Amino acid sequence: MTDTPNAAAAGLGTFERWLSVWVALAIGAGLLLGNIFPSLFTALASMEVASVNLPVAVLIWAMVYPMMVGVDFGALRQVGDKPKGLVVTLVVNWLIKPFTMAALGVLFFEYVFADLIAPEDAQAYLAGVILLGAAPCTAMVFVWSNLTRGDPTYTLVQVSVNDVVMVFAFAPIVAFLLGVTDIVVPWDTLLLSVGLYVMLPLLAGYVTRQRLVAKGGEAAVDAFKARVQPFSIVGLLVTVVLLFGFQGEVILDRPLVIALIAVPLLIQTYGIFFVAYGAARIWGIPFNVAAPCALIATSNFFELAVAVAISLFGLGSGAALATVVGVLVEVPVMLSLVALANRTQHWFPTEKEAS
């Protein structure tokens, strides 16, 4: 599994490298427009079908669909080649990460920050961080892996397996954790969101990929992804503008809330990375697998978390706001972890030494 397939990301382009800056500008634009044109955002917020906001649904699809085209289910046949990295990722993603995120949310929102946050707001923020913790990344994973010179085929295997597991595990885990924290879960809306934002894009991506491969092989897939990738970034930025437009008054009234939500998210992100990275080191996993498996376990599928938060609790909810803060935290933190991994690669054996 040392060959470099075309499906791997080529790395961060100029625009993606400064994504945190563009997200910050999108936040500012959302706050400004939301306060200048409140009636417009009210009208957009009312465009719902079955608790799903249509403008945001279109934008989420724009973000999710390109990454789903990159999922190669044929790579699942290679799972058994290097099982250790996959085991670490799956255990951390599904048996540790959702529960530590919920625990940190309860600790900070209901105890540490109890005097700073109203109880109903604490519950909403808690729901948002739970959604983030239960949604493992499928998009920027290829970029993080490439920046550490990770094994790209193995990364494809992990993404493919995670997507399959997410289809079946995301809704039950979220429902369980939200239920434990005494939040009412509308199962129909939750399952509808998983279908809309995971299963259907996954199916559409699979069909598209099969047709592209039949016409021009992996080169055709890469060319198609390059053409549609800008729509994914634009979808993300416009979604941020909308979300912060809907939340504009709340944020301006309580600017401290962003910092408070970011605290458990930062602790969770760095903590989960060191758990996965440490496990990979103890197990003697080679660096080109260890770094991607730790980064995959750490990163979040924030597009899905945002979409489900909007569907479950509404566009102007604290849960939606918490997932948007996850977008703010994601890019700069992950870039710092990529740099850390590259500086510590001497801790790990090479692929030849590990075999």
pLDDT in tens, the chain (355 residues): 433 333 333 445 556 667 668 878 888 898 899 888 888 888 887 887 665 677 877 887 877 787 778 777 776 676 666 788 889 989 999 999 999 999 999 999 999 999 999 898 999 999 999 999 998 876 567 667 777 888 777 777 777 787 778 878 888 898 899 887 765 655 666 677 777 777 788 889 889 999 999 988 888 988 888 888 777 778 878 888 887 787 677 677 777 888 999 999 999 999 999 999 999 999 999 998 899 889 988 888 777 788 788 878 887 788 988 988 887 777 778 878 988 998 999 898 876 665 5
HSE toward the beta carbon, residue 20, CA cutoff 13 A: 12
Predicted local distance difference test score (pLDDT) of residue 10: 42
Please state the φ and ψ torsions of residue 126, each to the nearest 5 degrees. Answer: -60, -45
Beta carbons of 90 and 234 less than 8 angstroms apart: no
**3-state class of 210 per DSSP?**
helix
Per-residue b or e along 292-318, where b marks 16 or more CB atoms closer than 10 Å to that residue's CB: bbbbbbbbbbbbbbbbbbbbbbbbbbb
Beta carbons of 276 and 293 less than 8 angstroms apart: yes
Q: Where are the domains of the chain?
A: 20-347
The class that CATH gives domain 20-347 is: mainly alpha
The pTM for the full model equals 0.74
Predicted local distance difference test score (pLDDT) of residue 111: 95
